[in-house]
Amino acid sequence: MLGTWSSTHGALQQRQNNKPDTSAFNIVNGRIFTPGLGIILAPQPFTPEGGDFLHIALDVSGDGKLPVPPRNTADPLTQVYNFTLFLTSTIMQKNFTISNVTTSTPPFANIMNQESGQTVKHINFEWPDCLVGNNNDEDGATARGDYNISIHQNYRLNGVDRYTIFNLPISVTNSISQFPGAGQLTTKPAPGPLSANGGRMSCNLLQNPMVDFNTQVNSVNNPPGQPMQDIKLETSPRKDGGQVAIYRLNNLSDNLGQQWLLRCIRAAKRITTKKVSIHLQWAPGHNDVKGNKKADTLAKEAAKERPTTSTIASLAYLGIEINKIQKTEQLIEYKRYTNRPTKNRSSYLRIFKLNTHTTIKVPKGTLREILSAFYSLKLGHRYFNSYLKRFNKRDYNLYICYKPQTLQYLLLDCKQYKTHRNTLKEAIPHRPITLPLLL
């Protein structure tokens, strides 16, 4: 939802028994639904703000429908790519960066990667120096007044990539001191950004060009209804955790655990004959349980063994045995082939040695998400606008700075990633740095 503070807000407030008019917002039990997958938990619309920093709480799980972050971003159906947040005011002509995925430290870091295992992400944004003061600024000495928390969501919903902007109105009218209090040092995630001396950042360092309303409207790609309410989320089946168990109970297959699946179904049928309803819901309460990953690993290994409580082997077990036989036969044939050079010196293998690997060689410890991103960039199949426009997934190919969002521009020219690029230059002595060199 796009919008700004209106001059008629005071009149609307009077009609709401002197309370803020929130009729334009979709609020359920204090949770503010956005046009995307994010749900705002704090602050509430029209809240007077101040203190050491602005605190924002955002549920990124699609109302509990998506896996707990961090997660693989290759789901072809529904997933969150990233959130970027700005503090904007059309009255003050201000547009401050809150979080824009440009560094590895809060609040500019990717909020999807912080607070691991938590579906609610918190952003603690230090007020810049031009907002220091108390109450409204009537003489124009500061930039205090009415603002929007502008939340930009880049996500995929049921197989279609979306980009939405949601503006949450607040007022910067409560007291903000020149130097943040020492008590915030224990706050997690760490509030920021701060200047070199621990004080507030200059507003000029956080300021972005103002983007006019029509340009913002033309940039969004909203879904046809409210996700989680009008639109049911579709997600790919997972290969771990409680969600996959629920999926298996609802979808018959001959994969691992077939025997136990059939036992569960028979037990459920006996229960329902007694006119009892069964409801299954995934609760991510196990994430911080010590030894949970080890238990999952042992359970998967046990599923591959021959059942000891039944004389009937499942199709899953038989499939494993067949694969073992195939691999054994392939290994025998491979050994026969590699033994030929000892009998025939002119054989191909004697002249040209085999150099095969079962997996692609990559630096040890490289995260799977990084590998996936690298190879998709190498192939040119990444979710930037110039690529998406080719398949009519975007009506434009421009980035937020109004330059074509191409692979060349993002990696070598974009000012948003200047810090990352400088780090890259320090690690790579070769000049010039080009796309063929990087990819």
- At 385 the three-state DSSP class reads helix
Tens digit of each residue's pLDDT, the chain (439 residues): 554 444 444 443 443 445 566 777 999 988 999 999 999 999 999 999 999 999 999 999 888 888 766 555 666 788 898 999 999 999 999 999 999 988 877 888 888 888 877 889 999 999 999 999 988 776 778 899 999 999 999 999 988 999 999 999 999 999 999 888 777 777 888 888 888 767 889 999 999 999 888 888 899 999 999 999 999 888 776 555 555 566 566 666 666 566 677 788 888 888 888 888 877 655 555 555 667 777 777 776 766 666 666 556 666 677 788 888 998 998 888 888 777 766 777 777 666 666 666 666 777 888 877 887 788 787 777 667 777 777 766 666 776 666 788 888 888 888 878 888 888 888 888 888 888 888 7
Backbone angles phi, psi at 304, to 5 degrees: -85, -5
Pair (19, 163) in one structural domain: yes
- At 141 the three-state DSSP class reads coil
- At 384 the three-state DSSP class reads coil
Pair (163, 259) in one structural domain: no
Range of the domain at 96: 9-219
- At 119 the three-state DSSP class reads coil
Pair (263, 325) in one structural domain: no
CA–CA dist 184, 190 (Å, integer):
8
Distance of CA 36 to the CA centre of its chain: 12
Pair (169, 63) in one structural domain: yes
Q: Is residue 379 part of a domain?
A: yes
Pair (294, 330) in one structural domain: no
Pair (212, 289) in one structural domain: no
Q: In sequence order, which residues have a C-beta less than 8 Å from that of residue 429 and are 6 or more positions away?
A: none
CA–CA dist 411, 428 (Å, integer):
14
Pair (382, 320) in one structural domain: no
- The number of folded domains in the chain is 4
Pair (300, 397) in one structural domain: no
Q: Is residue 270 part of a domain?
A: yes
Pair (161, 17) in one structural domain: yes
CA–CA dist 32, 240 (Å, integer):
30
Pair (26, 93) in one structural domain: yes
Q: Is residue 310 part of a domain?
A: no
Final residue belonging to a domain, choices 190, 219, 248:
219
Q: How far is CA 211 from CA 83, 93, 170, in A?
A: 18, 10, 19
Pair (246, 339) in one structural domain: no
Pair (341, 396) in one structural domain: no
Rg of the chain (C-alpha set): 28
Q: Is residue 397 part of a domain?
A: yes
The tokens describing 414, both together, are 């974009």
**Could you give the residue ranges of the DSSP H alpha helices within 288-314?**
292-303
Q: Is residue 18 part of a domain?
A: yes
C-beta of residue 21 within 8 angstroms of C-beta of residue 15: yes
